[in-house]
């Protein structure tokens, strides 16, 4: 196996055994970036200088969890002095003067930061085609999208351009690209990972999580990034767990619900068959699998496309050209400067959502849209809580299909529909992970979604780890 194919835990073992040095590892990944980046285009910025600095720190951080491990960070997480563009022209020249809490934690853990990954502009999109800069290509088939919005992070992991990456997930933006790229993506419980420094899209839904080559790496990365942060009032107080203790091949007695309403939706038959086959394996391994009934996922999608744009319309209002980022040169007065800056700086999808959100919050429409959506949100959350009274986990597909072809979906509504299985999870605030469960007839990876109750990351990791061992497909890498 190539060095760039190794997982975090394999790299750690080799460093510990003296078989590899962090400098060799860093060089292997940097070489890999040089070799494939012009085809994959995962990175907005390759931070080679920063990686060298991190590497120089290695001796002081030897004992830390990610000492010498090459990690990529999505370009919506603030990095001190390093461009944080959010995939937008608006922030193409913006260098934050501070680090996001997760970046601080990566630094403290000794990670070597390889770069900032491409994404849909302000995390709005499901294919990374909404990046203002360029498309990212799926390492399994370069004509296909890597998914989105954390498409750059998922592609970078799948292509061996980093050992693991951080993504952010507002409606599926970690899990769906993980599914498309055949890697593991975890969206933690809302509040589990600090959002301080994550450029906000929809504050009540956004959550940072790991994108990794396997489940064990996901647990290791969670050990680094989870935990209370006094700088984020919505982060959960209390002792954090050691997620690696859930790395056990054991699902006996675990109760798993299969929501009929989700499986009855019209979606790719190969995906359905693959997910159900994986469920069967878990059953054989001792899990108790039962069909459950849940609220139609389309209500969650409807609520999501009111709440997320509403919050986004407010969160993105600060990009007005006054303080940082793009400022239009074409303006006679301040009001025109605002308008022209936003006209020139934002792409179509971002504008669309700002307009939807502004409308939904407008006086006279608030009750009919925003308030109604919040009520739906409560019902969906209750619906999940109800199931989790009796079940440990819920399993669905991560996405209705394998990776779509680049340029194949021009209708925004059709694109929104690719989030049907992932959006309800953010609405409910519960954790969920996408794990590879097979390949379709075109050799594109299929993802299975494991959903847990609030703080149920441990159960998810345990079931996913077991499944990974049962399926034994995770050594397979995209050929580039």
Q: Least CB distance from residue 476 to other proteins, whole Å? A: 36
Other Cβ atoms closer than 10 A to 333? 8
Of 88, 149, 194, 235, catalytic: 149
132, containing H or E segment: none
Alpha carbon distances (Å) from 305 to 110, 170, 480 = 39, 11, 36
Residue of the chain from 77, 181, 211, 326 that contacts other proteins (CB under 8 A): 77
Site size with other proteins, rule: CB under 8 A: 44
Q: How far apart are CA 464 and CA 279, in angstroms?
A: 11
Of 126, 150, 168, 173, catalytic: 173
What DSSP string runs through 309-369?
Answer: HHHHHHHGGG-SSSSSS---S--SSHHHHHHHHHHHHS-HHHHHHHHHHHHHHSTTTTIII
- In three-state secondary structure terms, 74 is strand
Let me know if 252 is a catalytic residue. no
304 binds other proteins (CB under 8 A): no
What is the token pair recorded at 84?
């944080």
Q: How far apart are CA 187 and CA 205, in angstroms?
A: 11
- C-beta separation of 425 from 174 below 8 A: no
231 binds other proteins (CB under 8 A): yes
Q: Which segments within 118-198 are labelled E, that is strand?
A: 164-169, 184-187
91 binds other proteins (CB under 8 A): yes
Of 212 and 313, the one with the shorter C-beta distance to other proteins is 313
Q: What is the 3-state secondary structure (H, E, C) of 273-309?
A: HHHHHHHHHHHHCCCEEEEECCCCHHHHHHHHHHHHH
345 binds other proteins (CB under 8 A): no
Let me know if 408 is a catalytic residue. no
Let me know if 74 is a catalytic residue. yes
State CA 324 to chain mean position distance: 27
62 binds other proteins (CB under 8 A): no
Other Cβ atoms closer than 10 A to 260? 11
317 binds other proteins (CB under 8 A): yes
Residue of the chain from 136, 179, 212, 313 that contacts other proteins (CB under 8 A): 313
Of 74, 187, 409, 459, catalytic: 74
Residue of the chain from 36, 100, 112, 297 that contacts other proteins (CB under 8 A): 100
Q: Count how many residues are written for the chain.
A: 480
Of 232 and 268, the one with the shorter C-beta distance to other proteins is 232
- Binding letters toward other proteins, positions 190-229, x by CB under 8 A: -----xxxxxx-xxx-------------------------
Radius of gyration of the chain (CA): 21
Q: Least CB distance from residue 327 to other proteins, whole Å? A: 12
Q: Least CB distance from residue 130 to other proteins, whole Å? A: 18
Q: Which segments within 58-155 are labelled E, that is strand?
A: 70-74, 112-117
Residue of the chain from 87, 96, 152, 453 that contacts other proteins (CB under 8 A): 96
Place of tokens 């986004």: 312
State CA 180 to chain mean position distance: 12
Of 18 and 97, the one with the shorter C-beta distance to other proteins is 97
Q: Least CB distance from residue 320 to other proteins, whole Å? A: 6
461, containing H or E segment: helix 457-471
Q: Least CB distance from residue 346 to other proteins, whole Å? A: 14
Of 85 and 434, the one with the shorter C-beta distance to other proteins is 85
Bridge partners of 158, per DSSP, are none
Which 346-375 positions form the footprint of other proteins (CB under 8 A)? 358, 361-363, 366, 370
Q: Could you list the active site residues?
A: 74, 149, 173
Residues in contact with other proteins by CB under 8 A are 76-78, 84, 86, 91, 94, 96-98, 100, 195-200, 202-204, 230-234, 310-311, 313-314, 317-318, 320, 322-324, 334-335, 338, 358, 361-363, 366, 370
């Amino acid at each position: 196996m190539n060095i760039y194919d190794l997982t975090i835990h394999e790299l750690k073992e080799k460093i510990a055994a003296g078989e590899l040095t962090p400098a060799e590892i860093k060089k292997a990944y940097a070489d890999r970036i040089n070799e494939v980046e012009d085809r994959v285009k995962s990175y907005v910025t390759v931070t080679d200088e920063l990686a060298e600095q991190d590497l120089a720190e290695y001796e002081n951080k030897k004992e830390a969890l990610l000492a010498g491990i090459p990690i990529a960070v999505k370009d919506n997480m603030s990095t001190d002095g390093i461009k944080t563009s959010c995939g937008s022209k608006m922030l193409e020249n913006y260098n934050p003067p501070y680090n996001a809490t997760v970046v601080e934690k990566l630094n403290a853990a000794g990670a070597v930061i390889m770069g900032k990954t491409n994404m849909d502009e302000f995390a709005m999109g499901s294919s990374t085609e909404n990046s203002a800069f360029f498309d990212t290509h799926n390492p399994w088939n370069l004509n296909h999208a890597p998914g989105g919005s954390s498409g750059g992070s998922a592609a970078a992991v799948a292509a061996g351009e980093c050992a693991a990456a951080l993504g952010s997930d507002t409606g599926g933006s970690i899990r769906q690209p993980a599914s498309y790229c055949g890697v593991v993506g975890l969206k933690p419980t809302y509040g589990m990972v600090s959002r301080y420094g994550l450029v906000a899209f929809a504050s009540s839904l956004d959550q940072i999580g790991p994108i990794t080559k396997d489940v064990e790496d996901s647990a290791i990365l969670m050990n680094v990034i989870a935990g209370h942060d006094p700088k984020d009032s919505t982060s959960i107080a209390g002792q954090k767990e050691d997620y690696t203790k859930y790395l056990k091949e054991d699902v006996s007695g675990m109760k798993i619900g299969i929501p009929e309403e989700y499986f009855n939706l019209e979606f790719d038959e190969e995906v359905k068959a693959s997910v159900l086959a994986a469920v069967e394996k878990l059953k054989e391994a001792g899990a108790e699998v039962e069909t459950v009934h849940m609220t139609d996922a389309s209500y969650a999608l409807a609520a999501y496309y009111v709440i997320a744009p509403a919050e986004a319309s407010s969160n993105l209002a600060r990009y007005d050209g006054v303080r940082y980022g793009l400022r239009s040169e074409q303006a006679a007065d301040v009001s025109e400067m605002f308008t022209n800056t936003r006209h020139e700086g934002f792409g179509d999808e971002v504008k669309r959502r700002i307009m939807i959100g502004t409308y939904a919050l407008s006086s006279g429409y608030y009750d009919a849209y925003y308030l109604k959506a919040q009520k739906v949100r409560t019902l969906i959350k209750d619906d999940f809580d109800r199931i989790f009274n009796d079940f440990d986990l819920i399993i669905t597909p991560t996405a209705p299909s394998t990776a779509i072809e680049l340029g194949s979906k021009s209708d925004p509504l059709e694109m929104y529909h690719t989030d049907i299985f992932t959006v309800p999870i953010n609405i409910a605030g519960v954790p969920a992970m996408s794990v590879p469960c097979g390949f379709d007839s075109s050799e594109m990876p299929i993802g299975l979604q494991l959903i847990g109750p609030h703080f149920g990351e441990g159960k998810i990791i345990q079931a996913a780890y077991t499944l990974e061992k049962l399926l034994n497909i995770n050594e397979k890498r995209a050929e580039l």
